[in-house]
Amino acid sequence: MFPKGFLWGASTSAYQVEGAAFEDGKKASQQDIINQDSYRKFGFATAEIASDEYHHYKEDVALMKEMGFSSYRFSIAWSRIFPDGNGEPNPKGVQYYHNLIHALKQAGIEPIVTMYHYDCPWALVEKYGGWLSRQIIDDFTHYAEFIVREYGSEVRIWTTINEQSIIVQYWTQKCYIPEELLDGKHNQLRYQINHYMNICHAIACNLVHKLVPNGIVGSALGYSCIYPLTGKPEDCMAMQNAQALRNDYYTDIYFKGIYNKAAKTYLEQHGLAPVIEDGDMDLIASGKSDFLALNYYASECAKACPDDGKTVIQWSGVNRSGKKGDISGFETHPGFYQMCRNPNLDTTDWDWAIDPIGMEYMLRDLYNRYNKPLMITENGLGAYDTLNDDGRVHDSYRIDYLRSHIAAVGRAIDQGVKVISYNPWSAVDLLSTSNGVKKRYGLIYVDRTDNDPKNCAHIRKDSFYWYKKVIASNGGDLD
Ligand code: BG6
């Protein structure tokens, strides 16, 4: 089932685990600012301490070794390396990642490094709006070249920009967007940011190919397979439209170097298409991805949405409360498609549809269409956990989720799909991008709440012991 040498591990991202947000020369990223705001609005923890990984990384690498990890995906915080986004590197920040990579290598764990996970240096936001400006391309190039040169002799596997598709959908959570741009008239900027990211992705691919012997590189994409709500032809057509705009619009860039035609036509007709300068598409086409890394949590469902002249474009809603059903809405593009709840699937408390078959469906579909190796760089269950009096966290629900999804990866492999790694979300509990720290994903529990960082003790959950068995059997023993 799982081939020899398959990479097992888990994932995190810098601002969601590290903390030490203003320590050892690091300056703010846009996530430090965004999360200060969500602390004020919703009471969610800030990124200032997060899981305190900056001070716990040695302990966690030892725990990863104990679980038998052969890989670990993490991201580098741009503003730890370049506190002002550009200029001179911060020696202590540079050293931190050397230490982490060194500890991983010593433990026999292959680092999988993400260059950018939502945390643009705040200095660049103040200077020119961050990703809102084309100027970011030069600063990203400077940063990417520096880290590839600095760590390239020890890091073979690189992912570029985390989840462009999710940044388009949830742009205020993943990017700092000033209030005055939120009046509904500036939505084209979502796709403009994505265009700049496509250019940066291509530049990053070219850098890895030039500077890292045997290096491989690709995007880590937030991806949900999409089903039609019914077998009615108009729902099936809506499903294809949603597939084009939500998924193919990204994957066609990575593997064909073009914008998907159906999605592009829709965006042009609605004033949402990015401005493309001469040479952009050639540059994008030059950046070849070696693989596609997938962050899969849930499938989605689409239905027809006739343009009645009254319905307006709406973007994906979010559930902030953690009470099932509280989702604030579904993405709607009149005349193209509307996303909706799938009545056939149960959801998490935050309304994410639980669908292991969707994992198999996605892997088979993408491999058949692009014939490139696939990695799972995120997959997991956001849930409330309880630290019991016995000092244990009995997260059987998480084990059930992971078990069924790993089995689905195994079935895809049996069908001939080339999957090279499985790194679920997350190695340790962390600061969720939308729901604070009470929504937990980790195999390792972090003893803190949204209000109280306590001592951030790191504690093995039941899923930790279960995953250890899974890895030891190379995916053969999922019981
Ligand atoms: C992915 C992101 O979209 O989903 C992660 O890459 C994120 O950063 C994860 O944490 C789960 O989403 P959330 O909103 O529950 O944290």
Q: Name 321's Cβ contacts closer than 8 Å, sequence gap at least 6.
A: none
**Overall average pLDDT of the 209-232 stretch:** 98
- The percentage of residues in the chain with a pLDDT greater than 90, rounded to a whole number, is 99
pLDDT at residue number 53: 98
| Cα of 171 from ligand 1 centre, angstroms | 13
pLDDT at residue number 313: 94
pLDDT at residue number 68: 98
- At residue 203, the 3 state secondary structure works out as helix
Buried b / exposed e across 218-231, counting CB within 10 Å, b at 16+? bbbbbbbbbbbbee
**Overall average pLDDT of the 314-327 stretch:** 95
pLDDT at residue number 3: 97
The answer to whether 274 and 188 are in contact (CB under 8 A) is yes
**Overall average pLDDT of the 258-277 stretch:** 98
Active site includes 234?
no
Pairing of strands 337-340, 457-460: unpaired
pLDDT at residue number 335: 96
pLDDT at residue number 214: 95
Query: For a substitution probing ligand 1, which of 175, 428, 432 has the most ligand atoms within 8 Å of its CB?
Result: 432
Residues 237, 231: Cα–Cα separation, whole Å: 10
Residues 106, 61: Cα–Cα separation, whole Å: 10
Q: H helices then E strands: how many in the chain?
A: 17, 14
Per-residue model confidence as pLDDT tens digits over 54-104: 999 999 999 999 999 999 999 999 999 999 999 999 999 999 999 999 999
Q: Name 187's Cβ contacts closer than 8 Å, sequence gap at least 6.
A: 272, 313, 315
| Cα of 350 from ligand 1 centre, angstroms | 12
Per-residue model confidence as pLDDT tens digits over 92-144: 999 999 999 999 999 999 999 999 999 999 999 999 999 999 999 999 999 99
pLDDT at residue number 239: 98
pLDDT at residue number 285: 98
Ligand 1 is surrounded, with C-beta below 6 A, by 13, 16, 162-163, 166, 222, 295, 378, 382, 425, 432-435, 439
pLDDT at residue number 328: 92
Q: How confident is the model at residue 277 (pLDDT cuts 50, 70, 90)?
A: very high
Q: Among the atoms of ligand 1, which is closest to the Cα of residue 166?
A: 3
Q: How confident is the model at residue 151 (pLDDT cuts 50, 70, 90)?
A: very high
pLDDT at residue number 444: 98
Q: Give CA 408 to chain center in angstroms.
A: 20
pLDDT at residue number 298: 98
Report which residue type is found at 251: T
- The per-residue pLDDT of the chain, averaged, comes to 97
Kindly report the number of other CB atoms within 10 A of residue 161's CB atom: 24
Per-residue model confidence as pLDDT tens digits over 369-381: 999 999 999 999 9
pLDDT at residue number 169: 96
- The percentage of residues in the chain with a pLDDT greater than 70, rounded to a whole number, is 100
| Cα of 423 from ligand 1 centre, angstroms | 14
Query: For a substitution probing ligand 1, which of 29, 250, 378, 401 has the most ligand atoms within 8 Å of its CB?
Result: 378
pLDDT at residue number 478: 97
Per-residue model confidence as pLDDT tens digits over 411-453: 999 999 999 999 999 999 999 999 999 999 999 999 999 999 9
pLDDT at residue number 320: 95
Per-residue model confidence as pLDDT tens digits over 462-473: 999 999 999 999
Residues 136, 386: Cα–Cα separation, whole Å: 42
Which is the catalytic residue, given 48, 163, 300, 360? 163
pLDDT at residue number 461: 98
| Cα of 432 from ligand 1 centre, angstroms | 6
Per-residue model confidence as pLDDT tens digits over 59-70: 999 999 999 999
